[in-house]
Structure 1
Amino acid sequence: MNVDEFVRDTLHEQAGEQQPLAPGFADRVLAVRRRRRTRRLAGVAAAVAIAVAVPLVDSRWSEVLPASVVGPEGGGVMAHPDQSPPRDMIAAGRTALAAYYTLKTVKHGADRAVATRTYWLLNPKTRTYERTTKWSWVAVAPGLRTAAVLEQGLPARRIGLLDLASGQIKRWISVDHPVASLSFSRDGTKIVATAYGGNPDEQYKIEGVPDWQPDARAADRNGFLVIDVASGSSSWAKVGGDGTDLNSRQDFAFSRDDRFVWSGADTPSGYQYFDRQGNEVEAPLGEGQVNWFVAAGLSPDGKRAAGDFAGERMKTSSWILDPRTGQHVTEVHGQQLLAWADDNALIAWDMGGKGGEFHNRLVLVTIGSDKVVPLSGFRGGNAAAAGRWTPVFADR
Structure 2
Amino acid sequence: MNVDRLVRETLQEQAAEQPGPSGDLAGRVLAARRRRRNRAVTGAALATAVVAAAVAVPALDSSDPGRRDVRPAGRPDVVAHPDQAVPRDFVAAGRVGMAGYAAFRDMRQRNGDEVLVRSYWLLNPRTQKYEKADDRWAWVAVAPGMRTAAVLEGELPARRIGLLDLASGEVTRWITPAHPAAAVEWSPDGKRLVATTYSKNPDRLVKVPGTSPAPQQHFSRTGWVVVDAASGDVGPFRELPQTPGEKDGGYAGVARQDLHWSHDGSRLYVQQYEGPRGRNYRDWYTMAGDRTAAPERERHAGWPRAGLSPDGKLLAADGTTEGSPILDPRTGKQIARVPSSEQLAWADSNRLIALSCGPGPCTGKNEQRTRLVLVTVGSDRTVPLTALRERPKGYKGVWSPMLTTR
Q: What interval of TM-score do these two structures reach, taking the shorter chain for normalisation?
A: 0.7 to 0.9
Measured in 2, the distance between the counterparts of 1:274 and 1:95 equals 27
Taking the TM superposition and a 5 Å limit, the aligned residue runs for 1:4-83 are: 17=14, 19-22=16-19, 27=24, 31=28, 40=37, 75-83=76-84
**Structure 1, residues 37-88: CA drift from partner, whole Å, max 9, x if none?**
78547789xxxxxxxxxxxxxxxxxxxxxxxxx9758851110111121000
What's the counterpart of residue 228 of structure 1? 228
Match for residue 281 of structure 1 among 292, 303, 313: 292
Which blocks of at least 5 consecutive residues in structure 1 are unaligned? 1-12, 45-69
Query: Given the superposition, is the C-alpha separation of residues 208 and 215 from structure 1 closer, same or farther in structure 2, using an over 3 Å criterion?
Result: closer
Would the aligned equivalents of 1:26 and 1:139 in 2 still touch at CA under 8 Å? Answer: no
Scaled by the length of structure 2, the TM-score of the pair is 0.78
SS of residue in 2 equivalent to 1:156: coil
Measured in 1, the distance between the counterparts of 2:34 and 2:162 equals 34
Would the aligned equivalents of 1:275 and 1:281 in 2 still touch at CA under 8 Å? Answer: yes
Match for residue 136 of structure 1 among 124, 131, 138: 138
**Structure 1, residues 101-139: CA drift from partner, whole Å, max 9, x if none?**
101011222420210000000011100001021211111
Query: Given the superposition, is the C-alpha separation of residues 378 and 14 from structure 1 closer, same or farther in structure 2, using an over 3 Å criterion?
Result: farther
Q: Is 1:145 aligned with 2:147?
A: yes
Measured in 2, the distance between the counterparts of 1:351 and 1:266 equals 24
Q: Give the AA of the match of 2:293.
A: E
Measured in 1, the distance between the counterparts of 2:379 and 2:11 equals 27
Q: Is 1:373 aligned with 2:380?
A: no
What's the counterpart of residue 56 of structure 2? none
Query: Given the superposition, is the C-alpha separation of residues 209 and 373 from structure 1 closer, same or farther in structure 2, using an over 3 Å criterion?
Result: farther
Would the aligned equivalents of 1:24 and 1:184 in 2 still touch at CA under 8 Å? Answer: no
**Structure 1, residues 332-389: CA drift from partner, whole Å, max 9, x if none?**
11111111100000011101256722211001111112221110111248xxx71410
Q: Is 1:270 aligned with 2:281?
A: yes
Measured in 2, the distance between the counterparts of 1:151 and 1:15 equals 19
Query: Given the superposition, is the C-alpha separation of residues 213 and 96 from structure 1 closer, same or farther in structure 2, using an over 3 Å criterion?
Result: farther
Scaled by the length of structure 1, the TM-score of the pair is 0.79
What's the counterpart of residue 117 of structure 1? 118
Measured in 2, the distance between the counterparts of 1:296 and 1:35 equals 16
**Structure 1, residues 254-276: CA drift from partner, whole Å, max 9, x if none?**
11121111111367862211112
Would the aligned equivalents of 1:253 and 1:263 in 2 still touch at CA under 8 Å? Answer: yes
Which blocks of at least 5 consecutive residues in structure 2 are unaligned? 1-9, 42-70
**Sequence identity (%):** 41
Would the aligned equivalents of 2:269 and 2:284 in 1 still touch at CA under 8 Å? Answer: yes
Measured in 1, the distance between the counterparts of 2:215 and 2:122 equals 28
Q: Give the AA of the match of 1:247.
A: V
Would the aligned equivalents of 2:314 and 2:329 in 1 still touch at CA under 8 Å? Answer: yes
Measured in 1, the distance between the counterparts of 2:298 and 2:233 equals 28
What's the counterpart of residue 399 of structure 2? 389
Give 1:21 shift.
4.1
Taking the TM superposition and a 5 Å limit, the aligned residue runs for 1:82-121 are: 82-121=83-122
RMSD: 3.1
What's the counterpart of residue 307 of structure 2? 297
Would the aligned equivalents of 2:319 and 2:325 in 1 still touch at CA under 8 Å? Answer: yes
Measured in 2, the distance between the counterparts of 1:231 and 1:199 equals 28
Measured in 2, the distance between the counterparts of 1:265 and 1:38 equals 14
Query: Aligned residue pairs: how many?
Result: 349
